[in-house]
Amino acid sequence: MAKKKKKRIGLWLTVIVILGGAAAGWYFYQLLYSKALKLPNGDVVLYIQSDWTEHDVLSWLKQNKLVRHPEMMEAVMAKKNYTGTNVVAGKYTLRSDMNAPELIDWLRAGNGEEEVKVRFNSARSVSDIAIMVGSAIEVDNAELLEVFQDPATLERYGFNALTITTLFLPDTYLMEWDTDPEEFLARMASEYKAFWNAGRKSRAEKIGLTQSEVTTLASIVQAEQQAHPEEQPIIAGLYLNRLKKGMRLQSDPTVIYAIGDFSINRVLRHHLVTPSAYNTYLNSGLPPGPINVPSKKAIDAVLFASDHDYIYMCAKSDFSGYHAFAESLVDHNRNARAFQQALNERRIYR
């Protein structure tokens, strides 16, 4: 009787162990294939940096309280060999419908990596471009600037420290988040080559300017007229007329650039004698490089400039943002006096 009782107890213990194991297995299965992440506030973007390991990824998920079962996630990472080069850098918009194996497979394959928008405009220099680009991709802006100014890099692309600005065409570009400086420059060179097609090269040759000179003049045109870009071809035509006649451009924005004080609203006589290669009141021809990073429209305004006989201009006295153009100095002086009077009436003295 005792033996039968012991046998029944042993049988029950075996059943309990089996059921316990099954329950544990079922629980483990439920954890493994349940949703891995909790994203209470909608889309969450994960930026995996180039030097990250799987531990960095898990740490980020834990710090942001997004992972439901950290220990399970860590085990899956190990099982899936999510380590080393299998940790693919990039931008990922996390999804809440994935379980842990699906999530790690997705990250490991890099299938979820998204391109980022790299936008730069209204820049005055390559330093501005580096800051704008550096805020959109992984690379630090200081590292970008270092490459932009590297003599070997400049020589390879056919520019110098003063003309490298002309390589960059303001726009919005889609790139991978972990794009490095060399890859970024190669992309810019590709865009530059596509923009400067045979038609534009032919136009530049027709007006007697190199591609960099066209961009330099476009930067002046853009600085003169940003509010009403439809006027840019007229201004471009005016400056081309002055160049043909051997007249100095006498552009106020070049003086402001030479001074380096962009808060100046009124260029005065003492400003005009500022010693600088960029001061077109003192120097003939174009400055040695652009005074900003002009738009594609401003470049085309130079290439397809209006055909007229204007050689003078000044801002209109109604402060509309448009310019009064003139063919003669007499007419220009009349326009200039009207504008100066309007400035005085508004007490704009600098």
Q: For every one of its 350 residues, what pLDDT tens digit does the chain have, with 9 covering 90 and above?
A: 555 555 555 444 444 444 344 443 434 444 556 788 888 777 799 999 999 999 999 999 999 999 999 999 999 999 999 999 999 999 999 988 899 999 999 999 987 789 999 999 889 999 999 999 999 999 999 999 999 999 999 999 999 999 999 999 999 999 999 999 999 999 999 999 999 999 999 999 999 999 999 999 999 999 999 999 999 999 999 999 999 999 999 999 999 999 999 888 878 889 999 999 999 999 999 999 999 999 999 999 999 999 999 999 999 988 888 999 999 999 999 998 998 888 888 877 56
Residue 259 and residue 268 in contact, taking contact as beta carbons nearer than 8 Å: no
264 — phi, psi (to 5°)?
-65, 125
Query: Closest by alpha carbon to 192, among 227, 222, 159?
Result: 159
How far is residue 66's CA from residue 113's CA, in Å, rounded to a whole number?
A: 19
How far is residue 61's CA from residue 66's CA, in Å, rounded to a whole number?
A: 5
For the chain, the domains span 44-111, 115-195, 198-345
Return the pLDDT at 96: 87
The neighbour count for residue 39, using CB atoms within 10 Å, is 15
Angstrom CA distances, 58 to 39, 67, 104, 106, 214, stand at: 15, 8, 11, 15, 51
Fold of 44-111: Dna Ligase; domain 1 (3.30.1490)
What does DSSP assign to residue 209?
A: -
From first CA to last CA, the distance across the chain in angstroms is 113
How far is residue 189's CA from residue 264's CA, in Å, rounded to a whole number?
A: 34
